[in-house]
Amino acid sequence: MSFKDIIGQDRAWTILQNAIKNGSVAHAYLFFGPEGVGKRFTAITFAKALNCLKEKGDSCDECDSCRKIEGANHPDVVVISPEGNHIKIEQMRKLQRIVSFKAYEGRRKVVILDGVDVMTDEAANSFLKTLEEPPDETVLILMCINIHTLLPTIISRCQGIRFNLLPVESIRDILIKKRGVRIEEARLAASLCKGRLGKAIDIDIKTTLNNREEVFTILSDPLPEGVSSIFSKAEIWAKDKDSDKVDDLLDHLSNLCRDIAILKCSGNQDLITNIDMIDGLRSLSERLSFHEVQSMFQTVQNTRRSLKRNANLHLSLEVMMMRLSDEMGYL
Ligand SMILES: [Zn+2]
């Protein structure tokens, strides 16, 4: 993969490619931005380009150096990721040992440090020493989601490169052209992943379609057996130990409410996430007022916030479904 294969981050790869071509590569870069938008892929491509034996300012993916970096067995390219929830002091000591030696095979030693926003204080302070006295011929690539949690002294010593969420169309096209995903499924996955290609690739379409179907019944027919339907549904969902499933269900609920709101406001079908459900969504939009849809959306967001604060899952789901049924006039 060359820099041109990095989709949607043109500014990032232009900066990096120009730095190689102009001989102005910085000692330390800070890649920051949301998860799943190509930070690690760009860092690996940059490491390849810095050491490629064939291309100048890019990677060829064919030479010995590029292939070793791709296979994670190049002695001069090291990736350090959090162990458990944090990057720890022992890992920083390892990093200091690595950068104290000259490159064995490559032109540049490259250390990719993923998760600098979850460094322990001890690790961050130790790392500052490495940043203050950067070793020759070593390039440090720091990666994080949240730049605001970093020590200002770390930020000021790096060249910052922001990574943005990707447009839905770019993600859809990648899924179709590079992953062979069917058009309708690619469109749905691209809409659901909210700009993160990594998430779009990870989405299990069959499971997510089943989850969406379950969620849609909550909006279209929430009480087939009276109020007890809510309690039994909440019980089933709460018993599912897979926390990703609850996140997925809440995402579907938000997206469906959003789609109904769009149909009520503008009717612009290009903005609809669940376009394959347009008939069902339209009949809900005709039945509900904008104010009701807005309240439903708020209810889902409140549930999400409560769960983040460790509220009881079973109870939160029951309350949410009762409120939604009430807001839609079923109770
Ligand atoms: Zn190469």
Ligand 1 mean position, distance from CA 63 (Å): 4
Amino acid letter, residue 145 = I
Which residues form the domain of 155?
3-162
What Cα–Cα distance (Å) separates residue 221 from each residue in 97, 151, 315, 329? Answer: 62, 51, 21, 11
Continuous segment of H or E residues that includes residue 117: none
Helix (H) or strand (E) holding 202: helix 197-202
CATH, residue 123:
3.40.50.300
Number of independent structural domains in the chain: 2
Q: Is residue 194 part of a domain?
A: no
What CATH number corresponds to the domain at position 314?
Answer: 1.20.272
pTM value is 0.72
Closest CA to 7 of 186, 171, 195: 171
CA 143 – ligand 1 centroid, Å: 23
| Residue 323 confidence (pLDDT) above 80 | yes
What Rg, from alpha-carbon coordinates, does the chain have? 24
**7 and 151 together in one domain:** yes
Does residue 273 have a pLDDT over 90? no
Q: 68 C-alpha vs ligand 1 centroid, how far in Å? A: 10
Q: Write the pLDDT tens digit of every residue in 184-242.
A: 888 888 888 878 888 888 888 888 889 999 999 999 988 888 889 999 999 988 887 66
pLDDT for position 241: 65
CA proximity to 94, closest of 71, 116, 113, 107: 113
Q: Which DSSP category does 264 fall into?
A: H
Last residue of a domain, one of 128, 162, 196: 162
Q: What was the pLDDT predicted at 268?
A: 82
- Go through the chain and tell me how many residues it has: 331
**Integer angstrom CA distances of residue 286 from 260, 297, 326:** 9, 17, 17
Number of Cβ within a 10 Å radius of residue 309: 7
Measured in Å, residue 56 CA sits from the centre of ligand 1 at 9
